[in-house]
Amino acid sequence: MQDAPRSFDMPLCNLSGREAWLDQAEEVAGENGYVERLGARHAAIFIEDKPTLLVTFETHQRIEALSHDARPLGWDMARGLGWSHLCLVSDGDTWFRDPAVYGYFDRLMDDGFFENFEQVLFYGAGPCGYAAAAFSVAAPGAKVLALSPQASLDPRVAEWDDRYRHMRRTSFSDRYGYAPDMLDAAAEAFILYDPENDLDAMHAALFTRPNVTLFRMRYMGPQLEAGLIRLQILFPILAQLSAGKLDRTALAALYRARRNDGGYQFKLLQKLTAAARPYLTVLLARSVLEQRNARPFRKALDAAYKSAEADGTHLPARTQTDADDQADPTGAAHVDQVKRTHDTPDASHPR
């Protein structure tokens, strides 16, 4: 393997279009890699470093949304751990169903490309998660992490998924087609999804295989990738996958980071209030208010007690903090309390 390229820091933002972005990426790759256009909507960007290869599937649009420097997500991971990186990038969500992409992976297999690495990891989210699972068959023994992937959009298999009707005429039954079957050659695969999204959960169920671990991440919403980046656990998950340490216990430990995440807390509050669970609402609201001033949680706390007084529901006794919140609806006093407690999370926060 070649010496590590240190140009991963070069920004790819503020460029005039996809071709200019690819040209700049080619400068980054330099002598340690290449950029290859694959038809009108796809490209491959390879940068060689240490003998662990991370293969990511990404879209130009998601790259721009997730990185202020418009760099592929895999670059940050490769830079941190010194991995080699192969990024397959598409213009929009294509599920990488393109003969030019098939031909590229065929050539990689014919050339023994993946055999040059001690370990190969495939990663993607949503339509890119489908591609990570489907094309992992090109590297037998690879490890796969896919977030909320589709198993197929073939209407004979997934006619219940009406989110992508425009893909109904695209073939998912030819080469690299049915993603769950393509995982049979993988050493292990992890499918992460939010079971509150019925369609994502149905796709996840189709991936049930002896070498596949399905892990539920409830209340993370449809943008699971962005959520894991926000929680700062996506890269640790990939690192543990590489180290052979990833399992349900490790995922559960990492996922505990959600307890202090505002997005997760608010989705949980919505779920509890919609289900009319005042006791759990009180526990959640108190936990959050001990971390920070949060008006929706103060309102939910007050509404739960008012409802309990009206119908006689038993709730935990009010605390001084509850009384302060009622007397100080602006939350100024509570902000002072939070500063004094240095944002110490409450160990009783419900899962």
Query: Tokens standing for 205?
Result: 């169920």
Query: Residue 193: beta bridge partners?
Result: 216
Distance CA 274, CA 276 (A): 5
Contacts of 244 (CB under 8 A, 6+ apart): none
pTM score: 0.86
Distances from the Cα of 160 to the Cα of 58, 125, 163, 179, 208, angstroms: 25, 20, 9, 17, 18
Query: Residue 122: beta bridge partners?
Result: 55, 144
Distance CA 256, CA 97 (A): 36
Q: Are 214 and 195 in contact (CB under 8 A)?
A: no
Q: Which fold has domain 7-259?
A: Rossmann fold (3.40.50)
Q: Hey, where are the domains in the chain?
A: 7-259, 261-341
Q: What is the pLDDT of residue 322?
A: 65
Amino acid at 184: D
Q: What is the pLDDT of residue 32?
A: 87
Per-residue tens of pLDDT for the chain, all 351 residues: 444 444 566 767 767 788 989 998 998 888 889 999 999 999 999 999 889 999 999 999 999 888 878 889 888 888 888 899 999 999 999 999 999 999 999 999 999 999 999 999 999 999 999 999 999 999 999 999 999 999 999 999 999 999 999 999 999 999 999 999 999 999 999 999 999 999 999 999 999 999 999 999 999 988 999 999 999 999 999 999 999 999 999 999 999 999 989 989 999 999 999 999 999 999 999 999 988 899 999 999 999 998 888 888 888 888 756 655 555 544 444 434 433 433 434 433 333
Question: Quick one: DSSP state of residue 112?
Answer: T
Q: What is the pLDDT of residue 70?
A: 85
Query: Tokens standing for 70?
Result: 């418009």
Q: Which residue has the tokens 């505990």?
A: 256
Q: Which residue has the tokens 């690192």?
A: 239
Q: What is the pLDDT of residue 326?
A: 55
Distance CA 184, CA 250 (A): 23
The helix-helix angle for 262-274 and 278-291 (nearest 10°) equals 160
